[in-house]
Amino acid sequence: MAKEDLREQIRKDLLNYWGKKGGFGKYKYSDDYKYYVKDINENLIGGNMDDVHIKMFENGSGSELKDTPAKAKAIDSSSMLAYNFFRNINDKCTITIDEVEYNKVFFEVKLRTLSVRSTPANLDVVLVSKDKQTVLFIESKFLEYLETGTADFSDSYTKKDSYYNHAERRDLLSMSEKFDDYNRDKTMKGHYKSGIKQIICHLIGISNLKNSGDAQKWFEDTYTNSKYKNVYTDSDVAVFINPKTTFRFMNLIFCPEKAEEAFEDYKSELEEFLNNKEKLPEAIRMNYIGRTFIMTYKELFEKLPEKLSVKKELEERYINHYSKKK
């Protein structure tokens, strides 16, 4: 079965399964958007979205909540999947990943990629550790890895002068150059190339935030702006621009049983690209790729605290019926 057909089949299965559990199917947005719900809240677990979280999504680059219809209304919305799992992380409900305890969560965090005018990288989830020494940047995927086709960088990414001037600048340019080779490789036809490209953009943004005073100033100016009032405190921003903070990146992926083969293909691509020093410079790999850089939502679920009030609902919707078997 072609990946596009597989995605369609899984969407149908999800709609049928969730509909039986809670009438999900009757909230269909329209015949043209048969896999969209009418109200975003029907896509949420744990009640309506908090006001602070709404501000985060409204000020992100993804336009998740804008109604055309809103991306967040899609039954396979990766941002709402991530939101449902992480929305309750706080001082009383922490999560530990790779022996680091996290107690604060941000959604739709923007990072500057190029010094010239460009669209910022947009991270679905960012966790801050309890000791404020580690920040984990997370890109969430629902069924996107079933997409195929090319994914080209703009010309700006091919020019050294487009990048912020810091020690890793040449490495960042090298990543985009290596991706061009990968993108043109005919043996990679039918792969999710947009996913690799997006990860490169995220790594560029993370590297800039770590190494460039100008990128740090952009971040500080952005998140101390009045429109982020009550969203980011000065101490929150300080953690992101502190040169001593450890940055880590992770790709979090949903894997329904029918997509196991496609997931394994995408996972192999990620592992080959992110662990290959010929494609990803050692400085980038060592500094930002953590011990766990690929995780399924099934594995994440097992790390959630037992006292989490919505854990049973998360299990019912995402784990029992549609999760990768061990």
What is the per-residue pLDDT for 19?
72
Using a 10 angstrom Cβ sphere, with 0-12 exposed, 13-18 middle and 19 or more buried, the burial of residue 8 is middle
What is the per-residue pLDDT for 142?
94
pTM to 2 decimals?
Answer: 0.94
Which has more confidence, 306 or 209?
A: 209
**Mean pLDDT computed over 126-130:** 98
324 pLDDT band (50/70/90 cuts)? very low
**Mean pLDDT computed over 47-52:** 93
Least confident interval from 31-35, 59-63, 293-297: 59-63
**How confident is the model over 15-28, as pLDDT tens digits?**
887 777 665 666 66
With a pLDDT cut of 70, the percent of the chain lying above it is 93
Least confident interval from 96-100, 146-150, 194-198, 309-313: 146-150
What is the per-residue pLDDT for 317?
86
- Neighbouring C-alpha atoms within 13 Å toward the C-beta of 205: 24
What is the per-residue pLDDT for 326?
43
Range with top average pLDDT, 4-13, 28-37, 107-116, 303-312: 107-116
**Mean pLDDT computed over 262-282:** 88
Q: Write the Ramachandran bin of 321: left for phi over 0, alpha for psi from -120 to 50, otherwise beta.
A: alpha
- DSSP letter at 132 equals S
What is the per-residue pLDDT for 212?
97
What is the per-residue pLDDT for 21?
65
217 pLDDT band (50/70/90 cuts)? very high
What is the per-residue pLDDT for 35?
87
Question: What does the chain come to in residues?
Answer: 326
Cα–chain center distance at 235: 24
Sequential DSSP letters for 59-120: TSSS-TTSSSS-GGGBTT-HHHHHHHHHTT-BTTB-EEETTEEEEEEEEEEEE---SSS-PP
Report the mean per-residue pLDDT for the chain: 89
What is the per-residue pLDDT for 45?
92
**Mean pLDDT computed over 49-54:** 94
